[in-house]
Amino acid sequence: MITVNNAHKSYPSHQVQALTNITFTIDTGKTVALVGPSGCGKSTLLNILAGIDTIDSGEVVIKGQALHNAKPETLTQFRQYHIGVVFQFFNLLESLTVFENVALPLHIQGGHNATSINNAVNQILKAVELDNRANFYPSQLSGGQMQRVAIARALVHQPALVLADEPTGNLDSKTGKTILTLLKNLCAQQGTTLVLATHSDAVIAIADEVLRLDDGRLVTS
Ligand SMILES: Nc1ncnc2c1ncn2[C@@H]1O[C@H](COP(=O)(O)OP(=O)(O)OP(=O)(O)O)[C@@H](O)[C@H]1O
Ligand SMILES: [Mg+2]
């Protein structure tokens, strides 16, 4: 599903070598925890897997699509169809309802009629147990509810790969565990590969594999 070969990423303007010689593969359907101290390169690597950022040298291939030499419009389209992202601070749009936030990836993709959008959104809102909050705005939700909306939005277009950056970092540990289990189960149902950047032992506990970064390098744990 994911092949990363000899990847390097620097921010020359700030003389930061963010990732050095990164090589790994991830099989379809696996849940992988990306761990390591603050500043080690976890978010950088997730952004690269999402096609939001690019590497300086090396290869990144996801689902047969090479990202390292792809044009920006190819990356954008790849992301719209195959990637779902869950952010630490949820990143919901405040002026849109829960329903509208979750529908967004389908609108951005285009080509879906109102009925199919309704069906897909209602189905995933049921799965995260928020069908009774469809018309609420994000400011009217609890933190755990906001994160469940963010999960619904990441999964509504049935991506092959879900990337989550500290998805439970802003929740109490009990809510975090519940949400993590929900995310993992939904991904399992769809056969979705899940990569989570985290500091949390609870996340590491539910992972099939752990990738450990230190100062931009993969270390064997
Ligand atoms: N746009 C940028 N310009 C310059 N340096 C950057 C940029 N983005 C990230 N960095 C640097 O790259 C390194 C890796 O950052 P990254 O955000 O990937 O760390 P992280 O492992 O996600 O940390 P945390 O656990 O704190 O979220 C850091 O030293 C950071 O300062
Ligand atoms: Mg980070």
E strand intervals along the chain: 2-11, 16-26, 31-35, 57-62, 65-66, 83-86, 161-165, 193-197, 209-214, 217-219
Q: Can you tell me the distance from the alpha carbon of 114 to that of 122, in angstroms, rounded to the nearest whole number?
A: 12
> With bands split at pLDDT 50, 70 and 90, how would you rate the model's confidence at 170?
confident
- Residue 108 in this model has a pLDDT that exceeds 90: yes
Q: In sequence order, which residues have a C-beta less than 8 Å from that of residue 133 and are 6 or more positions away?
A: 98, 125, 140, 141, 145, 149
- Average pLDDT over every residue of 74-78: 94
Answer yes or no: is the C-beta of 40 below 6 A from any ligand 1 atom.
yes
Are the beta carbons of 162 and 192 closer than 8 angstroms? yes
> With bands split at pLDDT 50, 70 and 90, how would you rate the model's confidence at 201?
confident
Q: Which of 8, 9, 11, 53 to mutate to test the pocket of ligand 1 (most atoms within 8 A of CB)?
A: 11
Q: Can you tell me the distance from the alpha carbon of 126 to that of 143, in angstroms, rounded to the nearest whole number?
A: 18
- Residue 173 in this model has a pLDDT that exceeds 90: no
- Nearest C-alpha to atom 5 of ligand 1 is from which residue? 11
138 is in which domain, residue-wise?
2-219
Q: Both ends of the chain: CA-CA distance in Å? A: 22
- Nearest C-alpha to atom 27 of ligand 1 is from which residue? 38
CATH number of the structural domain spanning residue 30 = 3.40.50.300
Please identify every residue whose CB atom is under 5 Å from ligand 2, which is an ion. 42-43
Q: Which of 15, 22, 44, 213 to mutate to test the pocket of ligand 1 (most atoms within 8 A of CB)?
A: 44
- Residue 221 in this model has a pLDDT that exceeds 80: no
Answer yes or no: is the C-beta of 18 below 6 A from any ligand 1 atom.
yes
pLDDT of amino acid 73: 94
3-class SS string, 96-146:
CCHHHHHHHHHHHHCCCCHHHHHHHHHHHHHHCCCHHHCCCCHHHCCHHHH
What percent of the chain has pLDDT above 70? 100
- Average pLDDT over every residue of 168-173: 86
- Nearest C-alpha to atom 1 of ligand 1 is from which residue? 11
pLDDT of amino acid 215: 95
- Average pLDDT over every residue of 197-206: 90
Residues counted in the chain: 221
> With bands split at pLDDT 50, 70 and 90, how would you rate the model's confidence at 202?
confident
pLDDT digits (tens, 9 = 90+) for 46-59: 999 999 999 999 99
> With bands split at pLDDT 50, 70 and 90, how would you rate the model's confidence at 132?
very high
For the purposes of burial, counting CB atoms within 10 Å of the CB of 171, is it exposed (0-12), middle (13-18) or buried (19 or more)? buried
Tell me how many domains the chain contains. 1
Residue of 105, 100, 95, 10 lying closest to 48 (CA atoms)? 10
Q: How far is the CA of 200 from the centre of ligand 1 (A)?
A: 18
pLDDT of amino acid 198: 92
- Residue 162 in this model has a pLDDT that exceeds 70: yes
> With bands split at pLDDT 50, 70 and 90, how would you rate the model's confidence at 43?
very high
Answer yes or no: is the C-beta of 35 below 6 A from any ligand 1 atom.
no
Q: In sequence order, which residues have a C-beta less than 8 Å from that of residue 76 and are 6 or more positions away?
A: 51
